[in-house]
Amino acid sequence: MIYVIKTLRVLAGIFIAGGIFFFIAATVGVIRMPDPYNRAHTASKGDSPGFLVSLLGVWFYWLTINPIESLKILIIIIFMLFANPIAVHSILRFCYKTKTPWVEETTFHLLKDQKEKK
């Protein structure tokens, strides 16, 4: 039994450190990207694995303390896994509808033909 607890705590430490790495990568992208579209892409892609991995690590730690209370962490993970990409998608749709200019290096514009058909 004590080996299970030790294994869970080592796994928790590794997962929390990985989540912090993803958060730092997301912050660097939000600061240094040149464009609202690129910034939103980095924010969504860096944040989702960040909270997923680090909250899974805290869940492993809570399993050794109080297994019933740890179900709340699973509820938070499932809610944010749906909520965060939807929020960033709505931000990008707002960006595109108000015609925010993008950088000149952008070559892909997949919605261009759709707009001409209308």
Partner 1 sequence: MIELDLLLKLAILILSCTIFFCLYRAILGPTTADRIIGINVVGTKVVTAFVFLGAIFQKGSYLDIAMLYAMLIYITTLAFIKYLEQRNLGE
Residue ranges in contact with partner 1 by CB under 8 A: 9, 12-13, 16-17, 19-20, 23-24, 26-27, 30-31, 36, 39-40, 43, 47, 50-51, 54-55, 58, 61-62, 65-66, 69, 72-73, 75-76, 79-80, 83-84, 86-88, 90-95, 97-98, 100
Contact 48, 41 (CB under 8 A): no
Is the torsion defined by CA of 4, 7, 12, 18 positive or negative?
negative
Residue 98 or 113: the one with the smaller Cβ distance to partner 1 is 98
Closest CB 36 distance from partner 1, rounded Å? 4
| Burial group, residue 47, by CB count within 10 angstroms (0-12, 13-18, 19+) | buried
